[in-house]
Structure 1
């Protein structure tokens, strides 16, 4: 199972991305387009999508992704395991220095905004 984890993780990420794209499409323009139709046409269009979407491809993306996420959650590394300890040690060593970079970058942004605000109010 350990050998399959990278492949399963990639498939779960891909499925999540596909589902995110679908939900984004509905949120950003499909429902807006439907709202411009007379109610009976909008309802008919939505019903058509609801019937058409029930296919193997959508089912595999929707339910397969959920199933992969469950499997990956069950197979996640135990914090008390040697793998968990090694992962934490590596994560800690890599995260802390980059967190310092983010802190300095954010502080630099704060200073830049304060200086810009001062110049705007001086005018």
Structure 2
């Protein structure tokens, strides 16, 4: 059961890393030269579309699975698996804190801005959201790599 939980945590961490990476290398660069109204409308649509059960399953599921794997290996597993599993959990928790503290409030503010002043909404959103998305991409990637290493050790 420990390996199955660790495997599921690894897969979901990889999926989240891939999602944030896709924003870093394709979505946000594609919108960089778009008109402010288009930029705001597209991101508002994405924010509505991404709020679904499949996203939440990976977004929250990674934390639950990684925490469960950490506890299982702490209780009765090889110590060489516990350390990278705990590191993976910590990195993923850091990503969640960043998302909750910065990205979700920025997304909500962008949604609340509506279409009245898209240029102002974009200025308040893009310069902060984009670079910190790179950071959460790195956090998720580090989590994925750590969990992969734990699987190799298991």
TM-score using structure 2 length: 0.48
1:21 correspondence with 2:7: no
Q: How far apart, CA to CA, are the structure 2 residues paired with 1:72 and 1:84?
A: 12
Q: How far apart, CA to CA, are the structure 2 residues paired with 1:43 and 1:58?
A: 21
Structure with the greater relative contact order (CA < 8 A, sep ≥ 6): 1 or 2? 2
Q: Deviations over 1:40-98 (max 9, x none)?
A: 110110111110001111010111111111111222236xx7x547x59xxxxxxxxxx
Q: How far apart, CA to CA, are the structure 2 residues paired with 1:84 and 1:25?
A: 35
Query: Counterpart in 1 of 2:36?
Result: 39
Q: Deviations over 1:93-118 (max 9, x none)?
A: xxxxxxxxxxxxxxxxxxxxxxxxxx
Q: How far apart, CA to CA, are the structure 1 residues paired with 2:70 and 2:40?
A: 38
1:5 correspondence with 2:2: yes
Q: How far apart, CA to CA, are the structure 2 residues paired with 1:66 and 1:52?
A: 22
Larger radius of gyration: 1
Contact 2:16-2:59 within 8 A present in 1 as well: yes
For residues 1-123 of structure 1, the aligned pairs below 5 Å read: 4-77=1-74, 84=78
Contact 2:2-2:73 within 8 A present in 1 as well: no
Q: How far apart, CA to CA, are the structure 2 residues paired with 1:84 and 1:60?
A: 28
Q: How far apart, CA to CA, are the structure 2 residues paired with 1:10 and 1:84?
A: 16
Q: How far apart, CA to CA, are the structure 2 residues paired with 1:16 and 1:30?
A: 20
What do you get for the CA RMSD once the two structures are aligned?
Answer: 2.0
